A = this chain, B = another copy of it.
């Protein structure tokens, strides 16, 4: 039997990130300033991001060198292994070959440090001593805490209160890396105070937490803001994942016919699939690319492709993306990282062009797949990650029926060590699926901004 883990040596680690912008099959429509209705210029973003990241956000260079200091931190866990899921294949009795690119091996347990480290680095290069961010369930906040820690930057995280109270472990992880973490809404910002004045017991939301973080960063001379997904430069940094995977497939003498993964903001899946997308756009390879999402938050499958705000409070620029409307509040499913009303503009463009195929999944079928995975491959996946696993299993079962020997690559975005309460709910039979009525979507997208 061949090796089930394909390791790339550190010296073969990709030296540059892949920028998909110049290869996109149609031009990416620019972010729009909500006040002027005009495309955003670099100066509009300058209060929030260091110039190097703003330049990356708008770059048309196909390759962007990874700085040595970023490479040095990446080496703590990168290149990440590419595994062949022999045990799952055998369990399914499928002729398909199933691989997974394992981003759960990072210190924070997911793909998020790939961009957190890069963002912290560019902030340090511009002498920024503090970075402010928000976090939902805590994946991004913990990744940025780690990255700031290694570059000697103070990190301040606004964490949605319901998670702050209910998921203390991720908050404690941020503390272990020296970050300050505040429940949002907080009394530290005007945005927070105004929410608390109306509802002192507000559970918070990602929209509110973004407002708080942006407010603090915009008003401080010594601080910038950082975002963990959606934006071009974030997706750019994640391409290290797919670039490594390409080299590993070469080592294995194989190549994916199909790439599956999960999309919340879209950065982890972009990281896995963008380096393969070019060959699909160029017609060199016929790769099926399946982006999964929850039926409770069906951004790409049922949202509309339209300019919208990135946050509830209408503070961010307008982005052209699939959206359920920026006021949409999804049901409380357990894949917290996938509860976002929009998605990355680059990913949405590929969906609109038919290059990426979206697929919505119910959470019970997703957890069923997670259990099958844990009982064959051993490791416990994050609920977000289990969406891609579900799709892979479904496709591998189709192969069993048709006899097709497809090669399937799963973007394994993170482990589920902090999600065991969700597993408990599933195993005890208390998990429910949510059907989203069309009226709710219609209502949520009724008042989108009037930019086309």
Contact of B424 with A378 in the complex, beta carbons under 8 Å: no
Q: How far is the CB of A26 from chain B (nearest CB, A)?
A: 39
Instruction: Classify chain A's interface size.
Output: 35 or more
Contact of A374 with B177 in the complex, beta carbons under 8 Å: yes
Contact of B418 with A378 in the complex, beta carbons under 8 Å: no
State the CA gap A7–B82 with chains docked (Å): 13
Interface stretch of the complex, out of A165-173, A231-239, A402-410: A165-173
Within 8 A of B (CB), among A119-167: 146, 149-150
Copy count, this protein chain:
2
Contact of B417 with A417 in the complex, beta carbons under 8 Å: yes
Q: Does A206 contact B (CB under 8 A)?
A: no
Q: Does A3 contact B (CB under 8 A)?
A: yes
State the CA gap A4–B109 with chains docked (Å): 19
Q: Specify which of A11, A176, A376 lies most central, judged by the most chain B CB atoms within 10 Å of its CB.
A: A176
Contact of B375 with A4 in the complex, beta carbons under 8 Å: no
Contact of B4 with A9 in the complex, beta carbons under 8 Å: no
Q: How far is the CB of A177 from chain B (nearest CB, A)?
A: 6
Within 8 A of B (CB), among A177-211: 177-178
Q: Does A440 contact B (CB under 8 A)?
A: no
Residues of B within 8 A of A107 (CB): 374, 378-380
Contact of A423 with B76 in the complex, beta carbons under 8 Å: no
Q: Does A313 contact B (CB under 8 A)?
A: no
Contact of B172 with A423 in the complex, beta carbons under 8 Å: yes
With contact pairs A10-B3, A417-B418 given, residues A173 and B380 touching in the complex (Cβ less than 8 Å):
yes
Residue of B nearest to A77 (CB): B378
Q: Does A377 contact B (CB under 8 A)?
A: yes
Contact of B420 with A169 in the complex, beta carbons under 8 Å: yes
Contact of A172 with B421 in the complex, beta carbons under 8 Å: yes
Q: How far is the CB of A431 from chain B (nearest CB, A)?
A: 13
Residues of B within 8 A of A77 (CB): 378-379
20 intermolecular pairs with C-beta atoms under 8 Å apart: A3-B10, A4-B10, A4-B75, A5-B75, A73-B378, A76-B87, A76-B377, A76-B379, A77-B378, A77-B379, A87-B150, A107-B374, A107-B378, A146-B378, A169-B420, A172-B421, A173-B420, A176-B380, A176-B423, A177-B375
**Chain A residues in the interface with B (C-beta under 8 A):** 3-5, 7, 9-11, 73, 75-77, 86-87, 105-107, 109, 146, 149-150, 168-169, 172-173, 175-178, 371, 374-380, 417-418, 420-421, 423-424, 427
Closest 10 pairs (CB-CB, A-B): A107-B378, A172-B420, A417-B417, A7-B7, A76-B378, A169-B420, A172-B424, A3-B10, A176-B423, A107-B379
